[in-house]
A and B are shown apart, each in its own frame.
Chain A
Amino acid sequence: MSSHLHAAPIRVPFFSRGTWVLVALMAVGFCFAVVRFTKGIGSVTNLDDQWPWGIWIAIDIACGVALAAGGFTTAALAHIFHREKFEPIVRPALITAMLGYTVVVIGLLADLGRYYNVWHPMMPSMWSGHSVLFEVGICVMFYLTVLYIEFLPMVTERFRGCVALPGALRPLNGFVEGLLRLFDRTLGRIMSVFIIAGVVLSCMHQSSLGALMVIAPYKMHPLWWTQVLPLLFLLSAFCVGPCMVIFESILASRAFGRRPEMEVLGPLSKILPVLLFFFISTKAMDLAVRGQLYRLADGSWQSVVFLVEMGVGFVLPFLMFFSSRVRRSPRLLFTAASLVIGGVVMNRIDVFLVAFRPVYAEKHYFPAVGELAITTGLIAFLIFAYRFVVLNFPVMHVEGAASRQGKEAHHA
């Protein structure tokens, strides 16, 4: 499947000034994590009986899963719908998804009061098919496994024929080499099964994540509470997937001093008006059908938040992506993609926190320093790990291959 792709580890020094900033943020987050695991969730968060969920759910989990959607959307485009010109962005998107979901799971462990019971949903005696969260949990678990399997070809490419374990592990060299060769021979043949499974699992849990809050109709603001939340979450995941790819690709090209892959990103952004149209129109129709449109003009702060979310986060970039000037300019394309990412992040925070109204609310929730520090630390760790992987594994495509594929795309 990777026959068109010439990917290689990026040759830049691992530690830059930015990397040290990440290390510092991770260290701060780690200190708060130590407090959380020794003194309890209450010691570092503003969570209480009114506000059981905070930013660890809204950002670490809900936004984390949404922003990792680039993985399955590009895999579907390039491998299932055979848009081979998108091949160069599949691996970076896959790595983002793999590391993103890993961080989601780490973030989950911080939020779970009994984190050591995290394996319980796997036990048949505890299976709870009625629970939306059960479905999310099982899908995320399987999808994370699929992502690591999809990562294996990059490991075999990198180390096959040059396994040289240090010191005491040296006797294992032959075994590891054999294992890599076995993977190399078999993986290509069965990878389709995992690629499709990854797309199906993603569709399942991206939507179920939206179904989570449907169970709290009496505690949610009617602008956001709707039975079609699962569909809205799925459609917005479709929108944000390609936007994350554009965002990351342009950011990475700056960080590593490479040319932006506009010949791939331009065509990719052409599908965004369609995807955004589906999301915006579903959202508008839902408000109309439920007779809640009038709330947009009621002047409440929630209505303002809703209008900003939809207007700046979705409608504005929707209009921008129509323009070929935007699609050709790295700066404008980056701006439009960032707006959608901001819109989806805002949407997830709105659904899980802004729309949430405890029955007996005595106060508003705002994240504590500890919550912010751990979330920031996790994001820093994600970027740190991404840098490590693209510097050590064949993830980013090689420059020469890009122009050749760009030409192919033009011919087609």
Chain B
Amino acid sequence: MDRRDFLKTVGAVGVGIAAADASASTAVHAPPDALGVLVDTTACIGCRKCEWACNQVNKLPVQPLEEFENKAVFAGMRRPDAGNFTVVNQWPRQEHEGNVWAMVLCLHCNDPACASACLVSALEKQPNGAVKYDPWRCMGCRYCMVACPFQIPAYQYADALSPEVRKCTFCIERISAGERPGCVEICPVECLIYGKREELLTLAHERIGAYPGRYVDHVYGEHEVGGTSWLYIAGQPFPSLGFPELGEQSPARITENIQHGIFRRFIAPVALYATLAQVMWLGSRKDEVAAAAEREDHHE
């Protein structure tokens, strides 16, 4: 191969790689009219009706309402799983007698790590705030489960044919039709308040300001991992209610900054390719010169 052919082929490959740059998209950030739910844990009575309503709406293994009146489940901490998108946990109340309750479910992050991790965009943040899962795209790699800082997505490990990643859907069909999510609808004590996230944040701070003795000054989900659609207020620090302590940056920003830094317009890979091609070509020319010199030596 002579030099011109070589450079031509190298150039063609470079252009091809640069064209693939179109795949580098920007991440979804907190949509302006994102909806959310404010969970006022100080109002929750631990009735577990939200669990029952969730199972009804999402066609999860349906059990009679009486099953959910069983308070024995509060003995241990439960986690959502493939058959239960939300669970209520009971925690000892600090500085007072009695207990407090907190429901656990997908918080629908503004900048979800699960969606950033997904290689086929099976998980995507919707303009209405929901982080939606599309089983038809999913490959079942479970990287979303590794990425989620709240350990929420669950998997149907027993399904051999079409296992799904399972988590709270934010009742996306209901909220798209103008209805309230199932759990919000049934809550008998208005512990769950549904509305625009921005307005819920204002409401949360108003409540904290109005009743400083009732609440700790922290809206969980306002800043955690870039903010979440679901927000919590509580009468005691959140770690005592089983919430993880998280920073303000979404893990998605860390990896995407690295990823986009290295692959920005494919400059780095193309530059590496060009450099290696140059080294290879210079070396082969040196070899040719040496071989030619050797041939001449033989002639003499």
Contacts and interface: CB of A to CB of B under 8 A. Distances in A.
A130 B244 contact: no
Given A117-B139, A128-B119, A80 B283 contact: yes
The 8 A-B residue pairs with the shortest CB-CB distance, nearest first, are A113-B140, A42-B157, A82-B283, A129-B24, A52-B145, A134-B119, A52-B142, A113-B163
B162 to A, nearest CB: 7
Interface of B: 1, 5-6, 9-10, 13, 23-27, 77, 79, 81-82, 113, 116-121, 137-143, 145-147, 149-151, 153-160, 162-163, 242, 244, 246, 251-252, 254-256, 258-259, 262-263, 269, 272-273, 276-277, 279-280, 283-284, 286-287
24 contacts: A38-B160, A40-B156, A40-B159, A42-B157, A43-B158, A45-B157, A52-B145, A80-B279, A81-B279, A82-B284, A115-B140, A120-B120, A121-B120, A128-B23, A134-B119, A134-B120, A190-B9, A192-B1, A207-B262, A219-B149, A219-B151, A356-B146, A358-B151, A359-B244
A189 B5 CA distance: 9
A124 B276 CA distance: 29
A196 B254 CA distance: 30
Contacts of A123: 120
Contacts of B10: 193, 196
B149 A49 contact: no
A215 B113 contact: yes
B79 A218 contact: no
Contacts of A124: 23
Interface residues of A, number: 70
A175 B279 CA distance: 38
A211 B279 contact: no
A117 B5 CA distance: 39
A335 B266 CA distance: 40
B149 A121 contact: no
A117 B140 contact: yes
Contacts of B154: 49
A303 interface: no
Interface stretch (A198-206, A261-269, A304-312, A398-406): A198-206
A88 interface: no
A49 B80 CA distance: 9
B90 to A, nearest CB: 15
B258 A211 contact: yes
Contacts of B23: 124, 127-129, 134
A188 B119 CA distance: 36
A376 interface: no
A386 interface: no
A230 interface: yes
Contacts of B279: 80-81
A135 B254 contact: no
Given A200-B273, A207-B262, A212 B143 contact: yes
A53 B116 CA distance: 18
B149 A42 contact: no
A378 B162 CA distance: 24
B276 A199 contact: yes
Nearest to B245: A218
A203 B6 CA distance: 22
Interface in A35-82: 36-43, 45, 47-50, 52-53, 76, 79-82
B142 A53 contact: yes
A118 B146 contact: no
